[in-house]
Amino acid sequence: MLIGGSLKNNNSILITGGAGFLGSHLVDTFIEKGDKIGIIDNISTNNHSDFVNPYAEFIQMDINDIDIKKIIKKNNPRIIIHCASQTSVSISSKNPKNDAENNILGTLNLLESLNDYQECYFVFISTGGAIYGENLENSVDENHTCSPKSPYGLSKLTVENYIKYFSESKGLKHLIVRPANIFGPRQNPYGEAGVVSIFANSMLNNNNVSIFGDGNDFRDYIYVNDVVNFIQKAIEKNVSGIFNVGTGIPTTTNEVFSNLAEILNYTKKPNYLPRRPGDIKGITLNTQKALKEINWRPTTKFEHGLKETISFLKSVTLN
């Protein structure tokens, strides 16, 4: 499926997963700047293309498709932002093979399809929440040992290492983004990842909310616009390497629940269920590198991000 014009432009950007949560926000931001944007997305998450910007060229295709090489050769994008992936820790634990096929083999198919490695700037959306393992005491920086506790985290770390290989062997310029737990408008409230949207949607419909474990596990939650702003600034400054993108602030699952319940006047108590395989107890990210090298820091308060997410969920119905 093709929408929009040609990508034959020296400043063209290709965004995989560009119809999804983070990807669609990136598409909108770069189009507002006047960039030529192409999207590759299989529309698997929400089973529709409501978030596809009409000013982008949209190609409905899986990243494992062998024809992706033809798309790359035809359009020759100078920047590729790779968002497309299987993003659920719990699903990866249930089906590690499927997770690897999507996240590892799909990325390899994309990397092997590049025309000129030295002329391409490859931005990979990895994970900061699942790649380091657990750290209950201190925020972790980019030099912290990676010790994933789930197939999802393992697949992201494996792809990072492949990107480093392509960088060393073929001269691929790259940026690896390790975001904390991203939340905000357009996040799927019906999946197994994205606790803010899942909780908020259940509360809006006065349904019961389930918490896996005792709810005292904590994460570093960052609003989607702050992640977009980091990626935009990093590309503008042409930086390379690995960057954490988070707030460094721990927020427990119980706190997410209570904050949303207060905003929405939700009075039901949560249902506590057994902890899921692959879930960690706690992690927050140190983002001093991003502050030092590109003068980036998050600006969105957690409560404001919650209210924006709720407003979005009230305004649309996802099918």
Task: Select from 81, 25, 83 the least CA-distant residue to 224.
Answer: 25
Residue 1: per-residue pLDDT? 39
pLDDT tens profile 257-300: 999 999 999 999 999 999 887 788 899 999 999 999 999 999 99
Q: Are 52 and 39 in contact (CB under 8 A)?
A: yes
Q: Are 23 and 85 in contact (CB under 8 A)?
A: no
Residue 4: per-residue pLDDT? 42
Q: Residue 115 belongs to a domain with what CATH number? A: 3.40.50.720
Does the pLDDT value for residue 6 go beyond 50?
Answer: no
In sequence order, which ranges of 76-150 are alpha helices (DSSP H)?
Answer: 89-94, 96-100, 106-111
What mean pLDDT, rounded, does the chain reach?
91
Amino acid letter for position 21: F
* Annotated catalytic residue, options 132, 152, 223, 266: 152
Per-residue confidence at 43, pLDDT binned at 50, 70, 90? confident
Strand locations in the chain (E): 13-16, 37-41, 57-60, 79-82, 121-125, 173-179, 181-183, 210-212, 218-223, 241-245, 250-252, 271-273
Domain annotation covers residue 261: no
Domain annotation covers residue 164: yes
Residue 223: per-residue pLDDT? 98
pLDDT tens profile 73-125: 888 899 999 999 987 788 888 899 999 999 999 999 999 999 888 889 999 99
Domain annotation covers residue 242: yes
The domain in which residue 136 lies consists of 85-184+218-249+279-315
Q: Are 68 and 61 in contact (CB under 8 A)?
A: yes
Residue 316: per-residue pLDDT? 81
Domain annotation covers residue 207: no
Active site residue 152: yes
From the DSSP assignment, how many helices (H) and strands (E) are in the chain?
11, 12
Per-residue confidence at 314, pLDDT binned at 50, 70, 90? very high
Q: What is the mean pLDDT of residues 144-162?
A: 95
Distance, in Å, from the CA atom of 190 to the CA atom of 46, rounded to the nearest integer, reads: 9
- pTM across the whole model: 0.93
Does the pLDDT value for residue 238 go beyond 60?
Answer: yes
Domain annotation covers residue 21: no
pLDDT tens profile 203-214: 999 999 999 999
Distance, in Å, from the CA atom of 250 to the CA atom of 310, rounded to the nearest integer, reads: 21
Question: Within 10 Å of residue 168's Cβ, how many Cβ atoms?
Answer: 9
Split into its structural domains, the chain has a count of 1
Domain annotation covers residue 283: yes
Q: Which position has the token pair 């506790």?
A: 149
Task: Select from 88, 114, 113 the least CA-distant residue to 102.
Answer: 88
Domain annotation covers residue 303: yes
Does the pLDDT value for residue 149 go beyond 80?
Answer: yes
Beta strand 218-223 pairing with 250-252: antiparallel
Domain annotation covers residue 269: no
Task: Select from 136, 149, 113, 144 the least CA-distant residue to 242.
Answer: 144
| 37 phi/psi in degrees, rounded to 5 | -120, 135
Q: Which position has the token pair 């992936």?
A: 85
Proportion of the chain above pLDDT 70, given as a percent: 94
